[in-house]
Structure 1
């Protein structure tokens, strides 16, 4: 019996376990396969939900379920820490001194925040006047702080790109505007959005629309800010040129990095992301190793929708590899993201490696019902429905009806 190992039981890893269990069970011509998924955690988090916890839109318990509930019968769940991947001998060295030999490996270890990389971020003000919402504990701590906060200068800050869910900091700023208005203290809050980019987002067309919304909502935009340190005594962000941005409350997105396991294994780049073929999702390091989701170094958005589209393509390529067939360069960088803009509205963007977000309709050309690059309540309903879709369709590895793995140009306005 051969072994297919999956490292990481987050969004991407869990989807792959379900996809491959289903396919390999049907395709007996590929022989008998043992599928093992390895993760030290016992809980699965709906990470997009952490955006809503600080504003009491979701309760913390809405974002967490037992990890084992989503691993199909017939797939082994190994709750262990991993010390190193030895690609030369196709084995995973576990922290308890044992090892797991594999025939095919899928790396789905995601990425994590690294606040320790920015001097001063983890100082005395951490979780006092400096908060994150990219962790479960961080989102809950920020919720508790916002409930009694009476106003001042709130700075929403991105340390460096790439980050997981690149629109989330903007969404936080928009939701904060709405939250403080409903509390009746918006005139006591100065909102500032600070980014290392030259605009609000990475794509020009979307940036134009989002810059307009920031202006409309009286959120000050500070661009091209590369933070060097945080002076938490004075409560000031300092960039490499000496420019300073003061804050009363800082909501920061720390540097994002791939798992430290990649550094220990000699598989990662400077940020521990794994060099990956952008079309096939095969690792550069070894032919029998594949990479998916936030663990890759691909120039695609680090978002759940991307992992979903990658999973369908990677499943086909793993089957091609097992059968000794050529891999297909099918992944086009497709991503679609709902951007909450507050007051029960959202924007939807759809893009890939070569096409930036434009106006149009989704998923049906000319019909919608969702409108691209345009605020609507229907888009907001789509965003809120995604939590159910995540638990019941994405994680179990079901295809989303009417949503293509590849970006479709029909229904979009490119002129």
Structure 2
């Protein structure tokens, strides 16, 4: 009996487990998923919670995994990649033949001096956690005016467009409450523009200008002075705030570092095309848990998992892995007022204008605000629960296509 252990039951871990369960015979394989809790969180929905969203975003993990997949709930203490053991905090040890790390990434406010403390979830907020998004909802309801600063500590972060989406939605939120002239909005980023890629940065920067949102670039935060309500950068620039919405430094799971599997941010170094660990050939890392140079986004987890599954089946049969992930990512970007943008890119091609996914037939527009893009993001929730997580086929190829795109 071959043993496959998947660490993490989030987006990538669930998709991979369900896809492989359909392809690997139970008479020959035991598939085990380990996660620290029993409920799966729909993370894209956190963006809407601060603006009044109250739909339950959580479902039982057991309900989302196919029959025949074993689910263990517990904290992962360490992995011994030489002995091929997984040690849980309660003392249980699991042996594996193949290991998939899918424990994702998460915010670490403790890594920025002054961020955690008495003002955390009072005047300093995040929305990348369920509790944080709910606390921010109450703060926005009670906000009577002043300077609201949206701040990104550093890249990479989970869903890199989410801070921009929050900023656009906040602008619309205050405008609809007829208090926009009482709120100064500032977007603070360590990047030299609104986004990592120049064409998309120009489009998004223009939207910030149109909405009179100040853009503060190249800001590498050194500390948060919570008493003075001020962000302080390493070059001694300061940005004051009345309400701070921050995206803390994102890091992978601590056990990745203690097990000698990760880099300085606890991400597993892998071959960016096969997702195989560069140090241990029987270890793979999928979703946000690896160090591939593309967005830490659900679409990447989806497209990469399709490639990974095919490669993994070849690998366990002793054959060369012939499939290659190209870094394909696409993201809907909410811009407020029931509209949104869409970007589609990979390792080699930045987001370009045009149409998606059926070439010039569209029906969605790239790098242009449309209502169709907004409804595409809304529809994604149903697709996520009923198609992606169960590992069902979705008619979008894993490799990025240039059909419908316009090079500038």
The normalised TM-score by structure 1 is 0.97
Please state whether the residue corresponding to 1:330 is helix, strand or coil.
coil
Answering whether residue 261 of structure 2 is matched by residue 228 of structure 1, we say no
1:323 alignment counterpart: 317
Is residue 339–residue 374 contact of structure 2 (8 Å, CA) maintained in 1?
yes
Deviations 1:33-82 (A, max 9, x none): 000001111110000100000001x2151x11111110111000011211
Give the stretch that moved more between structures: 143-152 or 193-202. Answer: 143-152
Q: How far apart are the structure 2 equivalents of 1:68 and 1:59?
A: 23
2:2 alignment counterpart: 2
Is residue 7–residue 101 contact of structure 2 (8 Å, CA) maintained in 1?
yes
Deviations 1:312-371 (A, max 9, x none): 111111101110000125100000000000000000000000000001111101110000
Question: Unaligned 5+ residue runs, structure 1?
Answer: none
Please state whether the residue corresponding to 1:387 is helix, strand or coil.
helix
Residue correspondence of structure 1 range 9-408 to structure 2 within 5 A: 9-25=9-25, 32-56=28-52, 58-61=53-56, 63-401=57-395, 403-408=396-401
1:410 alignment counterpart: 403
Q: How far apart are the structure 1 equivalents of 2:234 and 2:373?
A: 39
Query: By how many angstroms is 1:123 displaced?
Result: 2.0
Give the stretch that moved more between structures: 207-216 or 279-288. Answer: 279-288
Is residue 167–residue 187 contact of structure 2 (8 Å, CA) maintained in 1?
yes
Runs of 4+ with deviation above 3 angstroms: none
Taking only aligned residues, the RMSD between alpha carbons, in angstroms, comes to: 0.9
Please state whether the residue corresponding to 2:24 is helix, strand or coil.
helix
Q: How far apart are the structure 2 equivalents of 1:159 and 1:323?
A: 43
Please state whether the residue corresponding to 2:360 is helix, strand or coil.
coil
Deviations 1:185-236 (A, max 9, x none): 1110000000000000001110000000000000000000000000000000
Question: Unaligned 5+ residue runs, structure 2?
Answer: none
Instruction: Figure out how many residues of one structure are paired with residues of the other and give that number.
Output: 408
Q: How far apart are the structure 2 equivalents of 1:395 and 1:159?
A: 30
Q: How far apart are the structure 1 equivalents of 2:157 and 2:322?
A: 28
Query: By how many angstroms is 1:399 displaced?
Result: 2.2
Deviations 1:291-327 (A, max 9, x none): 1010001101000000000111111111011100001
Q: How far apart are the structure 1 equivalents of 2:392 and 2:187?
A: 37
The normalised TM-score by structure 2 is 0.99
Q: How far apart are the structure 1 equivalents of 2:98 and 2:8?
A: 14
Is residue 310–residue 323 contact of structure 2 (8 Å, CA) maintained in 1?
no
